[in-house]
Structure 1
């Protein structure tokens, strides 16, 4: 991720009807005030006020500044209300704006210093134009979330715009249609994961830490926006993680049985060393050969085949949308393996943390030179406050 110690943010928002279809725009400049580091087109919704839209513009700009590694930030807006309220000089009475201001202050905690300054509308034309693009998109039926902007985001920042066109690799894949994006979320901690035991079809619940990890991931997904669908493994640890996200996103969870973890058979509940001690030769061969299964269990290749069928089905049903997939280590690694079109040897070389986020994209466009890509792998920035 690129780092810019000082950035300048211009933000705006608008509503056609006040309340009505609403959108916001933000542009982030380098310290020179000329170099554009990021611009963001964000759909607020079908029925929101001008002020709420302006708050969203400011918040999207702050998030981009944080993701760029800024330590000091200057924010310029033509909304006297937002500038005075965020500067602490005016009280915030509207409940929606109170919530957005609270989210903004959480982002602001990552900066060493920040200032808010009012400018006349004539000096905020870029952000104003972006907000109008967002309102056009909202009027055309786009769902709330980032719907456009520059392609300057590093791959490690794509989670920050999980539902967006921002940073998509269409310019080099040759694709003309929007990809289907899968945001892959591993479940939070369980007692078995804490004990480093093989946990396939066992059904433990999340620990208290696991629940907080799930909530932390959910808050991040809520703040970023863009998720259209949530699907989950049927096991409790994933359902609890998925429900945390569903509560924040206002979506339902679709259970997909084939997203279940690999069946470890006789090794279920054993640690790595304990499973190895049962049959050292078989355990070593299993690690090297994806066609082998644990005694009474499932081979890695069989798992890969079933997860591939799930991915294809989801891509067909939710073409061009962003799907949150809540699952386990092995199915998530299978999604990644498919995205990079690699053999089974890559699986043992990947490490996935609990409650981590990864992002892959698949292009259904027949004209695409590259059919898929890995955008983010094992992101855990949202867990820093949960550790």
Structure 2
């Protein structure tokens, strides 16, 4: 099975804003970014699976596939009360505790990275049981980083060492017979 993990294109939000699960519109250059993505993706997918947030859904609707499925488990990290706040304003003791241990600490009314990992891995394990040949998963950088870390056997603490631009594509080749996943960045 070939799985293309595709990050959404640039959202319409100022730089430096913590936006996680906020449902944002896309920036005006969406069409140009989409053209670049389609140069790297397949001409047809058995299924296109997408986060229900519109920054992913719009791209997913444009990809050629037999089926389109919206999957809430592949939403971005839930920052809770910090959604739409500038990162520069997160100077509280609670924010510092979270930054020192984001894997187990949850944000106020949000989630921890371990909680996000649980929901993403539940999705991933189900996906690998399917018999699809080509799958597009339109999602967010947090989901891409979690799956990349999982496949590479890297601890969650290192997941932010992977830089992913908007529209980044990670292609995963999954050999079901040997339960082996390999990846490359397109």
TM norm. shorter chain > 0.5: yes
User: Does the 8 A contact of 1:215 with 1:244 survive in 2?
Assistant: no
Instruction: Describe the SS at the equivalent of 2:89.
Output: helix
Uncovered stretches (5+) of structure 2, i.e. residues with no partner: none
> Residue 273 in 1 paired to residue 88 in 2?
yes
Counterparts of 1:375 and 1:271 in 2: how far apart (Å)?
Answer: 32
Corresponding residue for residue 218 of structure 1: 38
Question: Corresponding residue for 1:374?
Answer: 183
Which residue in 1 is equivalent to 2:139? 327
Which consecutive unaligned segments of at least 5 residues does structure 1 have? Answer: 1-179, 380-387
Q: 1:298 to 1:220 in 2, by over 3 A?
A: same
> Residue 170 of structure 2 aligns to a residue in which SS?
strand
Superposed displacement of residue 226, structure 1: 5.6
Deviations 1:40-68, CA, capped at 9 Å, x for gaps:
xxxxxxxxxxxxxxxxxxxxxxxxxxxxx
Whichever structure has more helix as a proportion of its residues is: 1
Residue 309 (str. 1) matches residue 151 (str. 2): no
Q: Is the 8 A contact 2:117 2:146 kept in 1?
A: yes
Higher relative contact order (CA 8 A, sep 6+): 2
The alignment covers a number of residue pairs equal to 185
Correspondence 1:355 to 2:130: no
* Alignment partner, residue 190 of structure 1: 11
Cα gap change, 1:250/1:305 in structure 2, threshold over 3 Å: closer, same or farther? closer
Does the CA contact (< 8 Å) of 1:187 and 1:214 recur in 2? Answer: no
Give the Cα separation in 1 of the matches to 2:153 and 2:7.
21
What is the TM-score normalised by the length of structure 2? 0.89
Q: Max radius of gyration: which structure?
A: 1
Instruction: Please tell me the root mean square deviation across aligned C-alpha atoms, in Å.
Output: 1.9
Q: CA deviation at 1:318?
A: 3.3
Helix, strand or coil at the partner of 1:358: strand
Q: Which runs of structure 1 show a deviation greater than 6 angstroms over 4 or more consecutive aligned residues?
A: none
Taking structure 1 as the reference length, the TM-score comes to: 0.45
Matches within 5 A, 1:129-278: 180-192=1-13, 194-221=14-41, 224-225=42-43, 227-245=45-63, 249-275=64-90, 277=91
Q: 1:345: which partner in 2?
A: 157
2:104 aligned partner: 291
